[in-house]
Amino acid sequence: MTRGTICFTSFSLSYLPRARILARSLRRAHPEWRLVALLVDAAADLPEFDEVVTADQLGIPRFRAWLFKHDLIEACTAVKGEMLRRLLAEGWQRVIYLDPDIAVFAGLHEIETALGDSSIVFTPHQVSPSTDTQAIADNEMTAFRYGIYNLGFLAVRNDETSRAFADWWAAMLHCACYDDIGNGFFTDQKYCDIVPALFDGVRIWRDPGCNVASWNLSSRTLAFDAEGALRVNGATLKFYHFTKIGGVGDVMTRRYAAENLEVLEVWAWYKRQLEPASDKWLYGMFADGTPILRSTRLLYRKRPDLAAAFNDPFAVGPDTLHAWLSNRGHLGEAMREGTHPMASP
> pLDDT tens digits for 154-169?
999 999 999 999 999 9
- Tell whether the model's pLDDT for residue 32 goes beyond 50: yes
Side-chain half-sphere CA neighbours of 267 within 13 A: 24
Contact (Cβ atoms closer than 8 angstroms) between residue 212 and residue 256: no
Region 85-97: what's the mean pLDDT? 98
The mean pLDDT value of the chain amounts to 92
Confidence at residue 339, expressed as pLDDT on a 0 to 100 scale: 39
Q: What is the pTM of this model?
A: 0.92
State the Cα–Cα distance between residues 283 and 157, nearest whole angstrom. 33
- Mind listing the pLDDT tens digit for each residue in 105-141? 999 999 999 999 999 999 999 998 888 888 888 888 8
Give 2's pLDDT tier (boundaries 50, 70, 90).
Answer: low
- Mind listing the pLDDT tens digit for each residue in 249-269? 888 888 888 889 999 999 999
Residues for the chain: how many in total? 345
- Mind listing the pLDDT tens digit for each residue in 176-225? 999 998 888 899 999 999 999 999 999 999 999 999 999 999 899 999 99
Confidence at residue 332, expressed as pLDDT on a 0 to 100 scale: 53
Which residue segments constitute the domains of the chain, with CATH numbers given?
3-273 (3.90.550.10), 285-337 (no CATH)
